């Protein structure tokens, strides 16, 4: 289906109409949806109502009347099909880092006598920081075993309680085979905790079928939940009743408004709540899922793969001899939905691209990242982005001193 020129591919794209449902930066090519997903048209309408009617008019009564109190679980149930999870296995709350801390604490409790947390040495650093703090604060005597991504399957033994994995790597977009890793971990009694921040929304996930025990992920990337959107947790249904988490706040209590002196967790996934949820952000995320949840997940994945293949083909043709190297897997089945290119002046090159209307991002030390969100990126966007990259590199435009200026957020 996706062959021929960029225009022919766009003309045959079954998701072409979905782009119209997003508000995109005007006259820009937006390839940063792996960092902050674009704004779905369902969100502003929903937030307008939430602010004026539910907050303004309903005020405190809206906790019940508008079911604000049920939002973390309700939005979780709405997200569940995109993750391959069942109702009651997903909760939307807190930041990914906070959720990791909760789930790592819970996992250590579920595996008494095992003192090792396995963690990828080159994964997203915050996950490593959290794993180190969970091991030392929650379970003194526990230790991290940091292993390269390629050696994960060799790192399991009877000392390991839990392994923390990135389904799709934030730099290269390399994708781990989830079922195979889960099987290997299970054979040693090791729990799997997946960070699916870079896959959720861009491809169908099968957390249940693959045998994942626990998962976390960001709401603001391909899921388009908005800046600072709450993150999500997944817990395999059978594990929920036994799960104990370290942040025992009142909203995770069985009866928060009974104001009992002692903590007793809620019977369901709500036991992973801690404090009051950010209602406006939750409602924005829920509205985004109304749009994303209605799309055919196989069509989403097929387009994501095709966009990546097309990007690589264009970059190899246009940028040969210009100092860039493909840093993502060439085989689409081994990739997420972004393409990373290596270049010695990657930061400056990205600033030059942004100045020319191509918005991607940069990751240390030398990577240009281009997020190919299949919901709104066109093949013609990819083609223009690569042309612009070729022009920048051919002219040496990145050497302009203004592109050396480092921003706080890169
Ligand atoms: C893979 C991965 N995990 C975790 C995080 C951190 O998420 P949060 O800021 O919600 O804690 C990010 C942020 O970009 C990420 O890319």
pLDDT of 195 = 98
Q: Please, how many CA atoms are within 13 Å of residue 52, restricted to the half-sphere of its CB?
A: 6
* CA–CA gap between residue 285 and residue 288 (Å, rounded): 5
Q: Which atom of ligand 1 is closest in space to residue 95's alpha carbon?
A: 10
Does the pLDDT of residue 132 top 90, yes or no? yes
Q: Calculate the average pLDDT of the chain.
A: 97
* CA–CA gap between residue 230 and residue 217 (Å, rounded): 9
Reading the block at residue 202, the tokens are 């861009």
Does the pLDDT of residue 174 top 90, yes or no? yes
Does the pLDDT of residue 22 top 90, yes or no? yes
* Ligand 1 atom 4 nearest Cα: 96
Judged by DSSP in three states, 188 sits in coil
Mean per-residue pLDDT, 291-304: 96
- Split at pLDDT 50, 70, 90, the class of 259 is very high
pLDDT of 240 = 98
pLDDT of 140 = 86
- Report how far ligand 1's centroid is from the alpha carbon of 58 (Å): 34
- Report how far ligand 1's centroid is from the alpha carbon of 95 (Å): 8
* Ligand 1 atom 14 nearest Cα: 35
Mutate to test the pocket of ligand 1, among 133, 164, 170 (most ligand atoms within 8 A of CB): 170
Q: What residues are annotated to the active site?
A: 124, 195, 220-221, 369
Judged by DSSP in three states, 192 sits in strand
* Ligand 1 atom 8 nearest Cα: 96
- Report how far ligand 1's centroid is from the alpha carbon of 218 (Å): 6
pLDDT of 139 = 85
pLDDT of 141 = 87
Mean per-residue pLDDT, 353-382: 98
Ligand 1 cavity residues, CB under 6 Å: 95-97, 124, 126-127, 166, 170, 195, 197-198, 218, 231
Length reported for the chain: 410
Mean per-residue pLDDT, 187-208: 98
* CA–CA gap between residue 213 and residue 107 (Å, rounded): 9
- Report how far ligand 1's centroid is from the alpha carbon of 132 (Å): 16
Q: Which atom of ligand 1 is closest in space to residue 94's alpha carbon?
A: 10
pLDDT of 410 = 83
Mutate to test the pocket of ligand 1, among 197, 336, 371 (most ligand atoms within 8 A of CB): 197
Mutate to test the pocket of ligand 1, among 33, 126, 130, 409 (most ligand atoms within 8 A of CB): 126
% of the chain exceeding 90 in pLDDT: 96
Mean per-residue pLDDT, 385-404: 97
Q: What is the DSSP string of 268-329?
A: SGGGG--S---HHHHHHHHHHHHHHTTS-HHHHHHHHHHHHHHHHHHHHHHSTTTT-EE-S-
pTM score, whole prediction:
0.97
- Split at pLDDT 50, 70, 90, the class of 115 is very high
Does the pLDDT of residue 1 top 90, yes or no? no
Does the pLDDT of residue 113 top 90, yes or no? yes
Mean per-residue pLDDT, 31-46: 98
Give the tens place of pLDDT for each residue, 66-112.
999 999 999 999 999 999 999 999 999 999 999 999 999 999 999 99
- Report how far ligand 1's centroid is from the alpha carbon of 34 (Å): 11
- Report how far ligand 1's centroid is from the alpha carbon of 150 (Å): 21
* CA–CA gap between residue 127 and residue 177 (Å, rounded): 20
Reading the block at residue 302, the tokens are 């097929």
Mean per-residue pLDDT, 152-172: 97
Give the tens place of pLDDT for each residue, 232-258.
999 999 999 999 999 999 999 999 999
């Amino acid at each position: 289906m996706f062959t021929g020129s960029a225009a022919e591919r766009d003309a045959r794209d079954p998701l072409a109409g979905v782009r119209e449902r997003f508000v995109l930066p005007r006259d820009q090519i937006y390839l940063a949806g792996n960092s902050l997903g674009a704004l779905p048209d369902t969100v502003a309408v929903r937030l307008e109502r939430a602010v004026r009617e539910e907050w303004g008019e309903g005020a405190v009564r809206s906790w019940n009347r508008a079911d604000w109190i049920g939002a973390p679980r309700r939005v979780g149930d709405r997200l569940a099909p995109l993750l391959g999870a069942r109702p009651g296995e997903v909760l939307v709350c807190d930041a990914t880092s906070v959720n990791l801390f909760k789930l790592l604490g819970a996992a250590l409790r579920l595996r008494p006598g095992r003192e090792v947390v396995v963690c990828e040495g080159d994964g997203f650093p915050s996950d490593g920081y959290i794993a180190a703090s969970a091991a030392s604060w929650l379970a003194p005597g526990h230790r991290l075993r940091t292993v390269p991504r390629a050696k994960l399957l060799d790192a399991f033994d009877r000392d390991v309680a839990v392994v923390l994995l990135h389904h799709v790597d934030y730099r290269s977009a390399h994708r781990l085979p989830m079922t195979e890793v889960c099987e290997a971990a299970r054979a040693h009694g090791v729990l799997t905790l997946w960070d699916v921040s870079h896959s959720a929304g861009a491809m169908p996930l099968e957390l249940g079928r693959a045998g994942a025990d626990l998962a976390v992920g960001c709401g603001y990337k391909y899921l388009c939940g908005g800046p600072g959107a709450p993150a999500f947790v997944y817990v395999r249904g059978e594990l929920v009743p036994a799960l104990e988490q370290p942040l025992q706040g009142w909203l995770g209590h069985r009866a928060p408004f009974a104001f009992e002196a002692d903590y007793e967790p809620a019977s369901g996934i709500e036991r992973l709540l801690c404090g009051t949820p950010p209602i406006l952000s939750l409602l924005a995320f829920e509205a985004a899922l109304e749009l994303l949840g209605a799309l055919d997940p196989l069509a989403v994945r097929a387009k994501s793969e095709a966009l990546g293949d097309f990007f690589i083909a264009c970059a190899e043709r246009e940028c040969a001899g210009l100092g860039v190297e493909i840093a993502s897997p060439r085989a689409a089945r081994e990739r997420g939905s972004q393409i990373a290119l290596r270049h010695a002046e990657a930061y400056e090159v990205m600033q030059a691209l942004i100045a020319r209307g191509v918005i991607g991002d940069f990751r240390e030390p030398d990577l240009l990242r281009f997020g190919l969100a299949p919901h709104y990126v066109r093949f013609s966007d990819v083609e223009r982005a690569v042309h612009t990259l070729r022009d920048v590199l051919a002219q040496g435009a990145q050497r302009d001193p203004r592109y050396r200026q480092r921003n706080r957020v890169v």
